[in-house]
A and B are shown apart, each in its own frame.
Chain A
Amino acid sequence: MAETIIRVDQLNFSFGNQQVLNNISLNVQRGNIYGFLGPNGSGKTTTIKLLLNLLQNSSANIHLFGKPLNQHREEVLQKVGSLIESPALYHHLSGFDNLKARAIIFGIHEERIHEILKIVGLTSAAKKKAGKYSLGMKQRLGIGLALLNDPELLILDEPTNGLDPNGIIEVRNLLKKLALEHHKTIFISSHLLAEVERIATHVGILFDGKLRFEGKIEELQSLKSIVICIETNNNQSALDLLNVNFAVTNTDTCLRIPFESLAQIAKINKLLVNNGFEVYSLYKEKKDLESLFLDLTQPV
């Protein structure tokens, strides 16, 4: 069985009277790319700050590499690289010097800095001041900083936030490379499901401080339900007719009925045609992850 890298047991956290996290439990195994999903304000950054011991948490319910974070802070953080929200960079220093300021603390040689610059694709911009970097470059340098001490676990908070499509692709490719070639375990938070879907092996979905789903990305995808979409010359009347026998929902573009069987489709068609409706389209649709995500993150 794979080693558990992050284990969080029934974590609660409040800012004053406001409860931000409610009984969160997480499990991340070695080699996972764990997508930590949730809308803005759901508690993702709070969870990440707790994972890094940046927020005060007296109970020992966070274990990294099998050890309670509270008691082995420095030892476990040795194996963690992180990027929280916007990358923390010294704008008056070049990309290289930003890495060097950190490398000095770790006692790391300059060769490693060059290596990192190569991994994050900033070798040619190494001498440029970080303040003059584009947002995508800053984000990559931030990831570079997280990688400097060759950590086993990368914790990245919204690493594609605010990036243009090119920047997003750059960061995504970099993360894939890190997981595949450098065998990192990656814990990445995002509010964009489509983003996580493309790289994650596992997903946790957080909403309003509660974990709504945790599992493999395939398990999430299997939750996708199939619906029948129907378009006619008069959707409103068709809705009245079909409602008698089926559970119909009316959306802007079509009427939707949960799929049961092919015979059911034929039956619907027959019913509509016999009642004088013109059927423009009738097809099966897999509910996409986006709407599944919306379902999972609706208040209950």
Chain B
Amino acid sequence: MKSFFLSLRSEFFKSRNTLAFWGAIILPLFLCTVVFLGYYFKADSIIRGMKGANGEAAWFQYLSIILGVMGSLLLPMYLIFMTYSVNNIEHKAETWKSLFSLPIPKFTVYTSKALYTLLLVFISLVLFVVLSIAYGLILGKIKPDFHFMDADIMDITSKTSKIYLKLFIASLGIISIQFFFSLIWQDFMKPMGLGFVLLVVSMIALKWEYSFLIPYSLPLKSIMGLSKDSVLFDKEAWISIGYAIGFFTLGYFVITKRSVK
């Protein structure tokens, strides 16, 4: 267990100053700031468009802008890019051979890398929650006409967290598949290209009755079907978890059974 945490720490250490790591911070920071600035500078026209919505309804109009951009396009693209970057650190430096000749189990090397990838996505989504609530509170203070302060902030925070957690679970399938692709292919084109093709296919097939089986459509589906009584672990969530277990396990067997180049 100790070697696992040490490996994980090493993952964080070596990815400092890489786009994989900073992407997890820059993406929420950028998107939330842009929406904040839009709300701030276009406050009057936005308030007119809100048609008197206040409190919780106002919050969800605001939050759904960020969530819509994220869930529909940015998140899957970010996942494809990020999983590629995490594994590319080792491909580029040709360090798989030295990692696998360390006196720690290959399972530890692999799981720490996989968990690191999941943690990066998790950190990114936590930042989305924190930043969107924080910016919302600032807006509520400086532009009282949004009526953000009328709502129960704790309740808003807990509901937002639940939505992002749902989004995270729905992303597990894509993460595991893209992680697998970028593990077995060194070059940029294969994992990225195939990832984008699958993403486009899932967009086209979104209305198909079995589209919930395509992991790339799951993040969007998870936020499209949101309602008051949505549960965290719905059908989409379980399918995503199923893909994740399958592909992370497959990745482990491929990387350990395959001879290291």
Contacts and interface: CB of A to CB of B under 8 A. Distances in A.
A88 B97 CA distance: 8
A89 B103 contact: no
A100 B13 contact: yes
B7 interface: yes
Contacts of A8: none
A54 B93 contact: no
Contacts of A135: none
A76 B102 CA distance: 10
Given A77-B103, A105-B6, A107-B6, A56 B257 contact: yes
A85 B102 CA distance: 16
A52 interface: yes
A82 to B, nearest CB: 5
A55 B260 contact: yes
Contacts of A56: 257, 259
Contacts of B14: 90, 93, 97, 101
B116 to A, nearest CB: 13
B98 A82 contact: yes
Interface string A100-127: 1110111100000000000000000000
A54 B260 contact: yes
A86 interface: yes
Contacts, number: 75
Contact of A75 (B101, B103, B257): B103
B245 interface: no
B9 A104 contact: yes
Nearest to A84: B97
B227 to A, nearest CB: 45
Contacts of B7: 105
Interface residues of A, number: 33
Given A75-B103, A78-B103, A90-B93, A84 B10 contact: no
Contacts of B93: 88-91
B95 interface: yes
B150 to A, nearest CB: 48
A273 B95 CA distance: 67
Contacts of B6: 104-107
Given A88-B94, A92-B17, A92-B18, A101 B101 contact: no
B89 A90 contact: yes
A104 B136 CA distance: 40
Interface in A57-105: 73-78, 80, 82, 84-86, 88-93, 97, 100-102, 104-105
B3 interface: yes
Given A90-B14, A104-B10, 4 more contacts: A54-B260, A77-B101, A97-B13, A105-B3
Interface of B: 2-3, 6-7, 9-10, 13-14, 17-18, 89, 92-95, 97-98, 100-105, 257, 259-260
6 contacts: A53-B100, A56-B257, A77-B101, A88-B93, A90-B95, A105-B10
